[in-house]
Chain A
Amino acid sequence: MSTRTLVSPATLARPRGRAVYWTVFTTVVVLFAIAFLFPVYWMVTGAMKSPDEVARTPPTIAPKEWHLSGYSDAWDLMQLPQHLWNTVVQAAGAWLFQLVFCTAAAYALSRLKPAFGKVILGGILATLMVPAQALVVPKYLTVADLPLIHTSLLNDPLAIWLPAVANAFNLYLLKRFFDQIPRDVLEAAEIDGAGKLRTLWSIVLPMSRPVLGVVSIFALVAVWQDFLWPLMVFSDTGKQPISVALVQLSQNIQLTVLIAAMVIASIPMVALFLVFQRHIIAGISAGSTKG
């Protein structure tokens, strides 16, 4: 893996090259620590300072006294268990709905040759041209009063789950993957007497684990990080996910408690990232290496 880059290995091997390399390396490490790790450190320790200390100028690098009460207060006062649970329910449901409906639709479009399949695919791909946020108001009106059945999904997790299915990017990703599966494999399954659902379940899905992983991570992260849509749909404070609750409660709460709540809200996604970082980073890097 020693492919040649901008600077040649020969230049680097010289004493001057080595000195420059290690200077640059150290600078970048320090810079990264300050820019990306320090804010996280500041947040985690800020929550452990006393309310006086956190407002002090100049600020203290490490808390003089370590309090865990910021975290426990945030947990209780801001009803974090409730909001975290809401977020988990919303994210898990959106993930499940997307996986079931997008996979089924992608399989149909890729393998079952429905009439007007090309038109439907075209309609789905056309939505990629519509920026999501620009449609947020008419989408809200639709959710508030569903056509034909005239029901409101406001304050209902379905308002997150169902629109999540209409994700053209994930659907197209799945369809493209299913397209690549060799015809022989599916025909063999059919000859062995497997129905379409059976083929999907026992042949296609096990082969598709990498894409399903990518789609799952995209789906979970998208719901966990979203703010505007849940802000619109959940007016009931008891149903709000943590992102909305944090902003709503940030006005009248002590700074240390708010910071502690911010840390707690970040933990699930950061943990997910640290566990799956290899896959996530590989997925992003593979995403657009075209050209």
Chain B
Amino acid sequence: MTKTAARPPAEAIAVHPAQAPPPAGGRGRRRLADQVRAYGFLLGGLICFALFSWYPAIRAVVIAFQKYTPGSSPEWVGTANFTRVLHDPEFTAAWRNTLTFTLLALLIGFAIPFLLALVLNELRHAKAFFRVVVYLPVMIPPVVSALLWKWFYDPGAGLANEALRWLHLPTSNWSNGADTALISLVIVATWANMGGTVLIYLAALQSIPGELYEAAELDGASLLQRIRHVTIPQTRFVILMLMLLQIIATMQVFTEPFVITGGGPENATVTVLYLIYKYAFLYNDFGGACALSVMLLVLLGAFSALYLRLTRSGEDDA
């Protein structure tokens, strides 16, 4: 990215004077004009941030303590929204599903992309083909991926069961079974998103100095030992970053359960964000929705803070 910054026009440097000309007019007036201009440039962005980031963040907390329906005046209710939401049987299901989903996505979503990147890094042919193909699902709109897999999971004519039959394995209910629905959604999410992860791991693997492997091999380290003692320590930082990012992303899962299962069967795939959506748009209970949002916000905010801290310290080290 620094490529273009490295070519300032030669004449620009030639005319660079020893001193800048003294500012015309009064210094105070000049500085005020500078400020007005600076804020002129900032204004559009600032208004958008104020309206759509800062204000909603404050408002979420405020409404969490109010009885609120659009159109009528809000009423303070203390912690009633929180207690009501906490006693909703769907609340436990939603959090349990979301945490299970995140954990499964982390296991599958870490292991498969990492192994894939490890293997791809060793292959010396058709590199461009692999990169394009693995990233293809990422460019398919998430709604389309979800509808596509819903069709694959169809118990009758679905491809998923057809594949099992072909392999002489017992068929499954996939997204229609209470015990298999969640893992079915994890498979969709992993398929749809792993392209980016693979590419980032691949880049990290390529930055490992070859001498380390050479030295390890001379010391008699086997393939697995080289992975354990060279590859993983060298990519630890990237692994940690991607895991945090994945936790933050998967805990906000909505499209797959909404499109594929509608939260069912038997609430097996209701997620926290899905429940927030239901409170707002089905029950018209914006206080409850905001109480749930605040809970999600606090939990994910902690992960985001950790992520930002680590990236910043990572940049300082580099």
Contacts and interface: CB of A to CB of B under 8 A. Distances in A.
Contacts of A182: 5, 8
Contact of A137 (B208, B214, B280): B280
Interface string B156-177: 1101001001000000000000
B59 A6 contact: no
A285 B276 contact: no
Interface-centre pick from A40, A58, A108, A132 (highest chain B CB count, 10 A): A108
A70 B26 CA distance: 73
B211 A4 contact: yes
B182 interface: no
Interface of B: 1-5, 8-9, 11-13, 15-17, 20-21, 34-35, 37-39, 41-42, 44-46, 48-49, 51-57, 59-60, 63, 70, 118-123, 125-126, 129-137, 139-144, 147-148, 151-152, 156-157, 159, 162, 165, 191, 196, 199-200, 202-208, 210-211, 213-214, 217, 223, 226-227, 230-231, 235-238, 241-242, 248, 251-252, 254-255, 258-259, 273, 276-277, 280-281, 286, 289-290, 293, 296-297, 300-301, 304-305, 308, 311, 314-315, 317-318
A37 B133 contact: yes
Contacts of A221: 139
A35 B191 contact: yes
15 contacts: A3-B210, A6-B231, A36-B134, A105-B44, A113-B38, A115-B38, A127-B53, A134-B60, A210-B3, A232-B277, A272-B139, A277-B135, A281-B131, A281-B132, A291-B204
A19 interface: no
Interface residues of A, number: 123
A231 B259 CA distance: 12
A18 to B, nearest CB: 11
Contacts, number: 351
Interface of A: 3-8, 21, 24-25, 28-29, 32-33, 35-37, 39-40, 42-43, 46, 54-59, 100-102, 104-109, 112-115, 117, 120, 123-125, 127-147, 162-163, 165-166, 168, 171, 177, 180-182, 184-185, 187-189, 191-192, 196, 207-211, 221, 224-225, 227-228, 232, 242-244, 246-247, 250, 255, 258-259, 262, 265-266, 269-270, 272-274, 277, 280-281, 284-291
